[in-house]
Amino acid sequence: MSASTSRSAAVGFALALAGAANAGDKAQYNLFNPTPRSMMREMTTDRPDTTEVPFTVDAGHWQTETTAFGYARSRPDADGIASDSYEFAGTNLRIGLTNDAELSLVWQPYGLLRTGGGDGAVSERSDGIGSVDVRAKINLWGNDDFQQRGSAAALLPFVTLPTDADNGIGASDVEGGLVAPIAFLLPAQFDLGINIGVLAVKNESGRGYHAEYITTSALCYDWTDKFDTYVEFVGVFGTDDPRGDEVMVGGGWTYALTDNVQLDGGINFGLTAAADRYNPFFGISVRH
């Protein structure tokens, strides 16, 4: 899994470098030679929907995307046990390395998990920090000329590193995967984001890994220059959960307070037994 992820990242970086000439004067900028403010792209975020965007943070700049608060209520399992999980300040730190590549760290500093039976009594409570995702995003095309091209695409390899295998807040084993974010500009103020990916997930038995496949689509409508809404479909297939695969629908909004600060919120609803029953959240993103 790690070797495959590394090969994918290397191919993505090679493609990004090959297309650097298309970035014009911005190709000269990097982590230590930041893109001037006057040449920066419009701020885009990977939140609040599950669908990741194919656009990267400008070179030499960084962006924080934070779930100020999130809540999820699961469906009962075969033993009638359901859970309530609370997320506080989970943050994606995105750092622009070149005009078409970024590094990001995703970390949940504190989470709370409560599980209980059908009678509503709490049988177990755990809390603590979540796992850490180390991610790269390599834009293949459309980073600076999305409006002209009408499409954009990227590769997003990642590795998940456990911090506490026993608290139930994050992953308990090293996992990883590769996602391909794609975006299309549509008529009448609409745009469409699509993700397809494969994940290497630890088996429930604790031995070995299996492949899971994720597909998402998010349809966004720009009401104004500052206010957008979206609806989204998310499917995770090939899980070893006895309840089956995860399928969700959701929707939400974003509001740009400034060119560099965005508020958002939304809610997801599970359509299958393995998916959370509902999951409301709100957050804030800031570009520096």
Q: What is the pLDDT of residues 175-206, one digit of tens each?
A: 999 999 999 999 999 999 999 999 999 998 87
Nearest by Cα to 5 from 209, 171, 177: 177
Q: Give the number of other CB atoms < 10 A from CB of residue 256.
A: 18
pLDDT along the chain (288 residues), means of 10: 40 44 75 96 97 98 98 88 94 98 96 79 83 97 96 98 86 94 97 98 89 98 97 96 94 98 98 96 98
pTM, two decimal places: 0.87
Q: How far apart are CA 92 and CA 105, in angstroms?
A: 6
- What count of Cα atoms within 13 Å lies in the side-chain half-sphere of residue 142? 17
Q: For 111-156, what is each residue's pLDDT tens digit?
A: 999 998 756 556 788 999 999 999 999 999 999 999 999 999 999 9
Q: What is the mean pLDDT of the chain?
A: 90
Which tokens is 261 given?
């600060």
Q: Where do the structural domains in the chain lie, given as residue ranges?
A: 2-287
2-287 is classed CATH 3.90.550.10? no
CB of 240 closer than 8 Å to CB of 208: no
Please report, as a single letter, which amino acid is at residue 251.
G
- The residue whose two tokens read 């104004």 is 224
Separation of alpha carbons 202 and 197, rounded Å: 16
Residue 247's identity, in one-letter code, is: V
Question: Length of the chain in residues, anyone?
Answer: 288
Dihedral sign of CA atoms 194, 92, 250, 188 in order: negative
Terminal-to-terminal C-alpha distance of the chain: 34
